[in-house]
Amino acid sequence: MFQILVADSISGAGLLPLTEMENARLIQKKTDDPEADLENIDALLVRSATTVDCELLDKMPRLQIIARAGVGVDNIDVAEATKRGIVVVNAPDGNTISTAEHTFAMMASLMRNIPQAHRTVKNLEWNRNSFIGNELFGKTLGIVGMGRIGSELAKRAKAFGMSISVYDPFLTKERAAKLAVESLPLEEVLKKADIITVHTPLTPQTKGLIDAKKIELTKKGVYFLNCARGGIINEKDLAEYIRNGHIAGAALDVFEEEPPFDNPLLRFDNVIVTPHLGASTREAQLNVATQVAEEVRLFLENKPVSNSINLPAMSKEIYDKIQPFHQLSKQIGLILSQCVTEGVQEISITYSGTVTELETSYLTKALLSGFFKNRIDIHVNEVNALLTAKERGITIGEKISVSGFGYANCISVAARNDKSEFIVRGTFIENYGPRIVFLNGFNIDFLPEGELLYIQHMDRPGVIGRVGKVLGDHSINIAAMQVGRKEAGGEAIMVLSFDKPLGESSFKLLEGQEDIVSIRNISL
């Protein structure tokens, strides 16, 4: 009999997959309730109220799975759970429709001044001429981020007769055509759109994505929406451009700091706000409860789950053998993701040497989880990696080769679209660790770890010296540096390793140096 603890308030109807199990007992109690019998709990279901940390896990020695009825897992120590072989699952798409609908409601309310008009009528005023609005019909909606929520929003906007221009650097032409949207560079979307809404995850790359420089590109009278994550739009810059009249209005459901009671944006009459309600519908709460309940049931029945946050539990013997290559695969995926900034149609993976003795399909999924990290708005792991690739129209190929490119083992990965191909090869050397040995046509040898800078340049005297001088002038210490070239005086690359991320000013200076072709930050 499995003991399942429901520690937070979760929809009873959503728990039906578990209540219908004959060999499971559902216990609805707080984790600090002495009657909860934590020592004998096999599965734990929580929302955001319960913190699942090391202290709680110590009290639950039998725990096999933690289910978060929602998207975020900030209240769960996933790393500690992984160490203990505890699977963590969530409900990544349970609130997709809810958030898309809320965004659309905010957009319509913003354009028609509904909250402002509502307030005056409640105050017994009748000022019709003060609230003349604008129609959605015929307007261009700019969507930044075309994941599940962005895609659902586009469908609704098209039904209202809007034109859709989108920016998503990882959106392929085929998927854009299927969605019937116009895929453009970010700058072009900003210039063209009458209304701009953001739907990306909050990552170091997207934090402050929309700042003063970007807002300056937009039309006078543009509208902005953020129902995704606070911080994607620079709130200080947003407030300044509302103040000077360039932005006609904004609708915000999320903020950098919540609650946002000291936020100057609250002082503007043409800014409408809600208290992070994107996922707050009865249907969404039922959906997330049902999703995680079904996941827990599948797991307890020894069937695959589709929304695992961490690695599935495995025997120590298998784990020890596959772990070095698992980590190498994920690092190769991360490198590809950060070096290839346009859409990808195909990812081809070739295994050779001793690595072929392992379960390579698991390594392929690990590689894809690294590739999709920070590219899309859902968490991707070894369980849902292939499905995620399929949903985005990316073909995945895996093959075994007798050629190890001169190494005892090798993982070679090519990311392709109709214009270009980018290849990364890595190997794991016993007592030496993982190494990247081939990058974009160049033989090289570097440790895939930490903060890296990948520079393509011409092999001319003084290039390396100029790079070193810029870094030295900014007191930036180079931890390691590797170079590769095809022929003297031709194309070349260098990969530099730092103790901390390179600042924007240093990056810009390096980018402008003579004979530098391109630069990429790589964070591993």
DSSP state of 340: -
DSSP state of 313: P
Residue 206 Cα distances to 99, 144, 169, 371, angstroms: 19, 10, 12, 16
Distance, CA of 430 to chain centre = 33
- The answer to whether the beta carbons of residues 272 and 109 sit under 8 Å apart is yes
276 among known catalytic residues: yes
Among 135, 258, 283, 514, the one annotated catalytic: 258
Task: Name the β-bridge partners of 400.
Answer: 351
Among 84, 276, 485, 520, the one annotated catalytic: 276
Q: Phi, psi (5° rounding) for residue 91?
A: -125, 85
Write the CB contacts of 163 (distance below 8 Å, at least 6 apart in sequence): 138, 139, 140, 141, 182
Strand order in the sheet with 65-68: 24-28, 2-6, 43-46, 65-68, 87-89
Fill in the amino acid letter for 412. S
How many CA atoms within 13 Å lie on the side-chain side of 14? 26
- The answer to whether the beta carbons of residues 55 and 77 sit under 8 Å apart is no
Angle at which helices 282-300 and 96-112 cross, to 10°: 160
Fill in the amino acid letter for 387. L
Among 229, 297, 379, 435, the one annotated catalytic: 229
342 among known catalytic residues: no
379 among known catalytic residues: no
Residue 457 Cα distances to 116, 483, 504, angstroms: 56, 10, 19
Burial 465-483 (b: 16+ CB within 10 A, else e): ebbeebbeeeebeeeeebb
Residue 112, judged by CB atoms within 10 A of its CB (0-12, 13-18, 19+), counts as: middle
Active site residues per annotation: 229, 258, 276
